[in-house]
A and B are shown apart, each in its own frame.
Chain A
Amino acid sequence: MSSASDPSIAIIGSGPSGCYTAQFLRKRFPSSLITIFDRLPMPYGLVRFGVAPDHAGTKAVTQQFDRLFARDGVKFVGNTEVGKDTSLEEIRTKFDIVVLATGLSADRSLGLTGENLPGVYGSGRVTRLINGHPEESIQGIELGSRLVIVGQGNVAIDLIRLSLTHADQLIEVGVDKDVAGLISSGNLKRIEVVGRSGIENAKFDVAMIKELIKIPDVRFTSDAVVTEGFDAETQKRVDAISALVENSPRDASREVNFHFGWTPLEISGQQKVETIKFIAKDNRTDLSLSTDAIFTAIGFTESELSSIKRDAHISSATNLERGFLDDGLYCVGWLRRGPQGTIPANRADAKLVSDAIIQDFENKQNMKEQGAL
């Protein structure tokens, strides 16, 4: 039962940004009709399909969102792709406020020849597969004893950890048996983790690196060039990699080699990927790695298949700093500011955009009241 004054609100996308937005708006508008649409049958987007399945503590945030639907009167409408099953225009006619929270789902491409060879897989695709995304399957995915991961952000570190975790442990945290058997087949002997940045600019979080040391039977190495004069935060990253290398066993049946400061140049192979080449910024000789498979983990971008494209809704009044696209139309999270930041960053984003929505609504109410006088 919506009171006359509270606006009706549609949120498109039920990932963390969308759900946090619903939370903040519900606090301000207790009687608003709030509906969250998702193209999938189940809610929670990247918390469900992006956060690694062995990070139960991070995934637990969905229990906050469960309450939105169970107690706080927020409605979930799944299986509904706005822009395809129903038009955004129609949604905008039906709701006073519409918030786009559809994220950025496509793996950013390396832009190299050979990238389309069999054996090259985007990390988003692999992560979705591991998390049981209904549109992913193991069909056509072949891994072997050698893997190259391009990128050194937290997604890359997740994939190192999951690839080296015993299949039984993956199954224990909910991974499908066949997927666990594929990702952690026991055949994997070597992972090369290659990043464009030097160690001083590497993207991983220190806590993620410290987690790797718990994996048994892995030798870690690094080609990082360590110099003096790093700031404290950088020094922590340098120390974490050094500690990982120093504390890993000299003799192990598996190895993970970190390579810093290498730009990918070319992927080659006959029927499938065989080699990936990198060049260094400094004068090191090119790095050429033979491999059975490549995971690209260099970030995310807007999918060409996406039914919602943010820039199609930009008007002369648009102010992305506060998520305002057009009258009654907002964007939040990765769709607003790009594919950076984890769950807490998207909560802060949702707060910012919710505050803008509330402010705009109150301004309108004030103008109406003044007009009525």
Chain B
Amino acid sequence: MSKKVVILFGTESGNAEFAAEDMAAAVEDREVEIIDMTDFDVDDFSPENFYLIICSTHGEGDLPSGAAPLFNSLASQAPDLTGVQYAMFGLGDSSYEHYSKGSEHIDDKLSELGAIRVGEYGRHDAHTGTLPNDTAVLWTKDVLAHF
């Protein structure tokens, strides 16, 4: 049986949350849950679930405020994430330096703690004036077809 899908979003302006809602709606035949990174306890990471992580970028390639608490807990508690599988989707704007860097901070930390990133690293460039929803939905379907 396929693992339950947990969509974790880290947001500043709400765009990542907005896309996460459409991603969840695109998940077929599997249990799915959307969780704000701000409300997520790092002890809840489990190899039983498959994580789709969508995270924006703020300021100088920094994490959005909604992702900072999760990153800080990962850093301070350093849980063993061996066996945890996730796929990553980063938001950014190529008008600015440090395009799409916010998600990479989370990605680096999860890898460091033993979690394994699978599938293609998804990206959306807000420079186009579009929201990430459509790209993120296609990416979700593609990732879930394989994992």
Residues of A within 8 A of B (CB): 20, 23, 55-61, 63-64, 67, 205-207, 210-211, 236, 343-344, 347-348
A20 (CB) vs chain B CBs: closest residue = B14
Contact status B93-A57, CB under 8 Å:
yes
Given the known interface contacts A56-B126, A210-B96, A343-B13, the answer about A64 and B131 at a Cβ–Cβ threshold of 8 Å is: yes
What residues of chain B lie closer than 8 Å to A344, measured between beta carbons? 12-13, 58, 64-65
Given the known interface contacts A56-B126, A205-B59, the answer about A211 and B13 at a Cβ–Cβ threshold of 8 Å is: no
- The number of residue pairs between A and B whose CB atoms lie closer than 8 Å in the complex comes to 54
B56 (CB) vs chain A CBs: closest residue = A344
What residues of chain A lie closer than 8 Å to B95, measured between beta carbons? 55, 57, 211
B18 (CB) vs chain A CBs: closest residue = A64
Contact status B96-A61, CB under 8 Å:
no
Contact status A57-B14, CB under 8 Å:
no
How many Å lie between the Cα of A64 and that of B19 in the bound state? 9
Contact status B59-A64, CB under 8 Å:
no
Asked if B135 is an interface residue, CB under 8 A from chain A, the answer is: no
- Contact flags (1/0) for B92-121 with A, using CB distance below 8 Å? 010111000000000000000000000000
What residues of chain B lie closer than 8 Å to A348, measured between beta carbons? 65
Contact status A347-B13, CB under 8 Å:
yes
What residues of chain B lie closer than 8 Å to A23, measured between beta carbons? 14
Residues of B within 8 A of A (CB): 12-15, 18, 58-60, 64-65, 93, 95-97, 125-131
Contact status A60-B65, CB under 8 Å:
no
Contact status A57-B97, CB under 8 Å:
no
Contact status A60-B97, CB under 8 Å:
no
Interface centre among A59, A64, A67, A343 (most CB of B within 10 A): A64
What residues of chain A lie closer than 8 Å to B64, measured between beta carbons? 344
Contact status A206-B15, CB under 8 Å:
no
A selection of 25 A-B contacts at a CB cut-off of 8 Å is A55-B95, A56-B127, A56-B128, A57-B125, A57-B126, A57-B129, A59-B129, A60-B15, A60-B130, A61-B13, A61-B15, A61-B131, A63-B130, A64-B14, A67-B18, A206-B59, A206-B60, A207-B59, A207-B60, A207-B96, A207-B97, A210-B97, A211-B95, A211-B96, A348-B65
Nearest-neighbour CB distance to chain A for B57, whole angstroms, equals: 10
What residues of chain B lie closer than 8 Å to A347, measured between beta carbons? 12-14
A19 (CB) vs chain B CBs: closest residue = B14
Question: Contact check: which of A20, A56, A67, A210 meets B129 at CB < 8 Å?
Answer: A56
